[in-house]
């Protein structure tokens, strides 16, 4: 585990400014992703617990979006370079370096967790543990929105992401893993190819019972 996390951290530390410039306004051209995040925010509000972690927050642009949607949002990321950038770009918000498999959050503390393309670098054998950790920090009724590269194949597909190796997933397979982590998947959206490889943009919403 340490090897791939160290590689991922170093890879993202090396592209902070470029990554931030490319993705700061990217959702303006992604209406489906915006809609899913908006639905997520509305559902979190309905739980009465507006505290949300943007896990794998990168430069913090989605943490800021969640804040603008009225949530008590904070960002967590493996990359210290990304965390430093997020703090500079959004000084009124909270950002902290953290591993997704060991979040600095108490059991059942959150109304929501956003994992926007942040689980894609996790090797398949390690993903169940990561999802169990995301479930751990959710209060009963809390929501998880996970976005990822979708594929129609029988299992996850490793590919050369532009930053560091990543995996695409069949939506049914990832939904099963969410269920195995104790969550109830209840909504999904698959749409337009997200890359020249033909992977779909995929979003799954799940609730902790």
> Which structural domain range is residue 166 located in?
2-207
Residue 137 CA to residue 57 CA, distance in Å, equals 16
User: Mean pLDDT throughout 147-164?
Assistant: 86
pLDDT value for 195 = 62
Q: Which residue has the higher pLDDT, 145 or 31?
A: 145
**Burial code of 159-180, b = ≥16 C-beta within 10 A, e = fewer?**
eebeebebbbbbbebbbebbee
How many structural domains comprise the chain?
1
Residue 20: both structure tokens together: 């931030």
Would you say how long the chain is, in residues? 209
pTM (global) more than 0.95? no
The SS3 call for residue 161 is: coil
CATH number for the domain spanning 30: value is 3.40.50.150
* CB-CB contact of 200 with 30 (8 Å): no
Mean pLDDT across the chain, nearest whole number? 91
Helices 80-89, 61-68: axis angle to 10 degrees equals 40
């Amino acid at each position: 585990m340490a090897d791939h996390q160290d590689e991922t951290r170093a890879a993202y530390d090396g592209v902070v400014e470029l990554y931030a410039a490319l993705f700061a306004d990217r959702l303006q051209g992604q209406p489906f992703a915006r809609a899913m995040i908006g639905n997520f925010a509305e559902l979190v509000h309905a739980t009465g617990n507006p505290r949300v972690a943007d896990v794998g927050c990168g430069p913090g642009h989605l943490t800021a979006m969640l804040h603008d949607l009225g949530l008590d949002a904070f960002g967590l990321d493996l990359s210290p370079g990304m965390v430093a950038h997020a703090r500079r770009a959004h000084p009124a918000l909270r950002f902290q370096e953290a591993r997704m498999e060991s979040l600095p959050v108490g059991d059942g503390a959150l109304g929501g967790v956003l994992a926007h393309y942040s689980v894609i670098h996790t090797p398949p054998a390690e993903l169940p543990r990561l999802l169990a950790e995301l479930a751990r920090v959710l209060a009963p009724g809390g929501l998880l929105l996970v976005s990822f590269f979708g594929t129609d194949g029988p299992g996850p597909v490793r590919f050369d992401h532009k930053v560091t190796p990543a995996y695409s997933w069949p939506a049914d397979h990832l939904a099963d893993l969410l269920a195995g982590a104790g969550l109830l998947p209840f909504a999904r959206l698959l749409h337009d190819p997200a890359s020249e490889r033909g992977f779909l943009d995929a979003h799954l919403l799940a609730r902790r019972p």
